[in-house]
Amino acid sequence: MHKKTLISVAVLFGILFLLPPQGRAEDVNFYAQQEVEKGWQAFAEGDLEAAFRGFRQATTINPQYAAAYYALGHANLARTRTSAAIANFRKAIELADPPMVEAYINLGFALTLAGRDQEGLAVYNQALALEPMNQELHLNLANYYCSQLNGSKAWEHIRFVRKLEVEIAEEQLEEMHSLCPEE
């Protein structure tokens, strides 16, 4: 080998050893989390495209990061891409450890939005098994049963939320009374 080639190889080899290790799990999670946080900020500001890009970037950085798929599901719902949102929430559920109850709740919502009511109810019930005191879940179930014109089941969940001393908007209660009166 030429002396110049040996020096080049030595320099390259030296540079490789000086570089920090790439792809350590904590580094990957950190950068993915940063992208998710930036995405949520953009989401809060109403910039759905920037939010989507941030969440998508997080899944590229770490394809095993459940929170990124959960966030991506929200962005897809907001962009009326229900099928994509369903896939994202399912992926978040698959990856989350411990289980991410919010992903179940939002998957149930997305499924019912897509007209897959029974599948949505099954997912809501899975969430209920994981976290029976979750007020958001009970409100979603109340809305689900109201959409099914099952006032007694809807109000069962509303009463449960009230027992948790959670404030429910008066407008929401009035709408539920008109759509599915308490039986």
What CATH number corresponds to the domain at position 174? 1.25.40.10
With 90 as the cut, is the pLDDT of residue 131 above it? yes
* Position 141 in a domain: yes
Backbone angles phi, psi at 74, to 5 degrees: -60, -45
* Percent of the chain predicted with pLDDT > 70: 86
Q: What is the pLDDT of residue 155?
A: 93
Residue 164 corresponds to which tokens in the numbers above? 């948790």
Is the pLDDT at 17 greater than 50, yes or no? Answer: no
Average pLDDT over residues 79-87: 97
Number of domains in the chain: 1
| Tokens coding 137 | 């879940």
The answer for residues whose C-beta is within 8 angstroms of residue 154's C-beta and 6 or more apart is: 141, 142, 143, 144, 145, 146, 176, 180
Q: What is the pLDDT of residue 24?
A: 62
Q: Give the least confident one: 4-13, 49-58, 145-154.
A: 4-13
DSSP one-letter code for 149 = T
Q: Which of 82, 80, 59 is nearest to 69 (CA)?
A: 59
Q: What is the pTM of this model?
A: 0.82
Q: Does 64 map to a domain?
A: yes
pLDDT, one tens digit per residue, over 147-174 is 999 999 999 999 999 898 888 888 888 8
Is 107 inside a domain boundary? yes
Q: Which two tokens stand for residue 15?
A: 């540079």
Residue 79 lies in a domain: yes
Residue 151 lies in domain? 26-179
Residue 123, domain member (yes or no): yes
Residues 6+ apart with CB under 8 A from 64: 95
On whether residue 6 sits in a domain, the answer given is no
Higher-confidence residue of 8 and 96: namely 96
Checking if the pLDDT of 30 tops 70, the result is yes
- State both tokens at 117: 């009511």
Q: Which residue has the higher pLDDT, 175 or 91?
A: 91
Check whether 23 has a pLDDT greater than 70: no
